[in-house]
Chains A and B, each alone.
Chain A
Amino acid sequence: MPEPEKTAATTPSVALRGPFLVAVQGSLDQAVATARPLAGRIRARFPSVEPVVLVADLRGGEAILVPPEDAQRDGGSRGRQPLLPPASQGAIPGQASPLGPALRESLARQAIGLAIVAAEPRDDEVGWLEQLLEPVVEAGFDFVCPAYRRQRTDGAINTGIVAPLLRTLYGQALRQPLGTEVALSGTLARRLLEDGDWRRRPAEAGSDAWLVAKTLGSDARIAQVWLGSWPRPSGDPEAPSETLTRALDLVFLEMARDAARWQRTGPSRPVPSFGPAGFEPGGSRLDPARMIEAFTLGLRDLRPVWDLVLPPAALLALQRTAARPSDGFELPDDLWARVVYDFAVAHMTRAVERGQLLRSLTPLYMGWLAGLARDAQRLDDRAFEDRLDAVGSAFEREKRYLIGRWRWPDDFNP
């Protein structure tokens, strides 16, 4: 795939003027503390913009936006409880997402743009807020998807499944598509708010997967911006099976909804990218041996479930992979792409209960991740970047397989 553009938009535009809504999502104390300096920073960098900073609060099971001082006052009377799930974790279901209230608030204020940011501690060396807003305010983009410097195998579900999948389906290559932080133009915000899914599919509308799929499937101008180190949420990370289930359920639902469109898209093209890309120092924290063990255990014990999902050729290929020695163990990217597609088809046909289906993908994910972890330890940054791009290319090569399986799901003849 050709290098993405690392410059501003090809059609420079005048900076937009008017209110710009920023919604801060996170725990009460951090959200209020994060929100306080944002208005001043926005005024200093973008004099034509009138910042409106609100804090996302969770009341009665739904997200609402309130001024920071109100959130602090009310939160003090309710006790200091977390407002919403960790923002930077991504794959937030629709009901818990502040996107809906933010869109409505931006329409009410006739905002020129809207951003949702996480209230996690982060180093500010790159001026993350200014970087996030600049493509919308000064370069005419409609959708800005952040990417972060992380350890090479961090966020592997995003980089190893969701990103290549969306690249294949919609023809645009975003590095880290799932995540709550985003910046939108007022035009796109209005269009999203008018979408019928808020009535037809209230449970899914507003999730980050829904937002990315809707935007990629439209003619909106999309950019990607590197915001420095990832704002790591406090607390222990989720078990991979739970994260897989939560994230892929949302993504596969969007995939089923948009099947008519993605079967017609052509090869992918790069997305304009701003800011310095890269990885955190250090190869990988993961232990390939444990992940290979998880894979072989799954292959031994989950065959009754995988028999309902994977064709015989894939199962045979997986057995051959398991038979390889540990130092040469690798789940080929082509096979991994086909496995993901088979699970997407099974999710659509409900061959297995969806929660159980996605949890049963965990050993396969571990098997593929073992190979990636080994590569992360031996390759340099440039080579690892190419490694991730190769995953996306593999997903694109196997698109015909996906279309065939999708149209004829009962036919196990790849």
Chain B
Amino acid sequence: MWEQTKRTFLEAVERVIQGIARMLPSVLGMLILVLLSTLLALLVRALVRRVCTRLDVDRRLREWGVAAPAQAGRTPPSRLAERLAGWTIVVMGFVVGLNILESAATSELALRLLGYVPHVLVALLILVAGMAVSRAVERGILIGAVNMGLHSARLLALGARWLLLIVTGAMALEHLGIGGTILTTSFAIVFGGIVLALSLAFGLGSREFVARSLERRLSEPGEKPASPPPERTHHL
């Protein structure tokens, strides 16, 4: 019996070792691929860093209000872009490496992941661009509204920024295929509601102004307007 047990055990170990031996080349191939992609990621990071330095990306983003002023401990946008580019290469290398394992399940998983990565990247790009534009627009609207003497300048600017962020988020989610028609419909309802509310507010609030304008236009040619327009100053 002892001999039987010993033989069974040795056969099992031999099967495991043979299984490992069969898989070892695939695993080694995958590790080599990950190593190569890591080296490629370092190269891409250096390239992105060089391009960002040449284009002075950090200063331009700060100038437009997209990025906060440089402070100790705060990661500049170019460094974030560098890290994102590097990690994307590493992750894609890992996903391609899964394909080498020659397992049906892992191959299918790898293919589906690979197909999804471009969507994720584009969605990230849309989000980043949307956030950048929303900040620049917020600052521009804030300054313009303050110069017009509007007391709700901050509210207007914040509203414009969040409106742009919502649009951007909806675009990114649609690109990722999350939510489907529910997301599109919800967004249309919310956005349409906001526009309708603004139109009503503007229309109801400017009734008197329109009435006065019409009255002035339709008055007799010989009649003088109720009050002459004030003379304005030339500042230069």
Give min CB distance, B44 to chain A, whole Å.
29
Interface residues on A, range: 35 or more
Give the interface segment out of A18-26, A102-110, A233-241: A233-241
A178 — which chain B residues lie within 8 A by C-beta?
Answer: 236
Contact with B along A226-247 (1 / 0, CB 8 A): 0000001100111111011001
Asked if B234 and A155 make an inter-chain contact with CB atoms under 8 angstroms apart, the answer reads yes
Q: How far is the CA of A305 from the CA of B63 in the complex (A)?
A: 11
In the bound complex, do residue B149 and residue A90 qualify as a contact, i.e. CB atoms below 8 Å apart?
A: no
Between A and B, how many residue pairs show CB distances below 8 Å?
A: 87
Contact indicator per residue, chain A 288-317, by CB within 8 Å of chain B (1) or not (0): 001001100110011011001000000000
Alpha-carbon distance A151/B173, docked complex (angstroms): 59
Within 8 A of A (CB), among B123-154: 136, 139-140, 142-144, 146-147, 149, 151, 153-154
Are A356 and B140 in contact, CB atoms less than 8 angstroms apart? yes
Cα distance, A238 to B136, chains bound together (Å): 25
A308 close to B151 (CB less than 8 A) = no
Minimum CB distance partner of A244 in chain B: B235
Across the two chains, which residue of chain A brings its CB closest to B145? A301
Determine if B140 and A236 form an interchain contact, defined as CB atoms under 8 angstroms apart. Answer: no
Bits for B89-116, please: 1 = Cβ < 8 Å to A, else 0.
0000000000000000000000000000
Complex CA–CA separation, A247 to B236 (angstroms): 8
Complex formed: what's the CA distance from A241 to B69 in Å? 25
- Which B residues contact A (CB, under 8 angstroms)? 59, 62-65, 69, 136, 139-140, 142-144, 146-147, 149, 151, 153-154, 230-236
Known A-B contacts: A154-B233, A155-B235, A238-B235. Give 15 more (CB < 8 A): A89-B236, A90-B236, A154-B235, A158-B236, A237-B232, A237-B234, A293-B149, A297-B149, A298-B146, A304-B142, A353-B63, A356-B140, A359-B143, A362-B146, A363-B146
Closest 3 CB pairs of A and B: A237-B234, A241-B147, A240-B235
Chain A positions within 8 Å of B, measured between CB atoms, are: 89-91, 151, 153-158, 178, 232-233, 236-241, 243-244, 247, 285-286, 290, 293-294, 297-298, 301-302, 304-305, 308, 350-353, 356, 359-360, 362-363
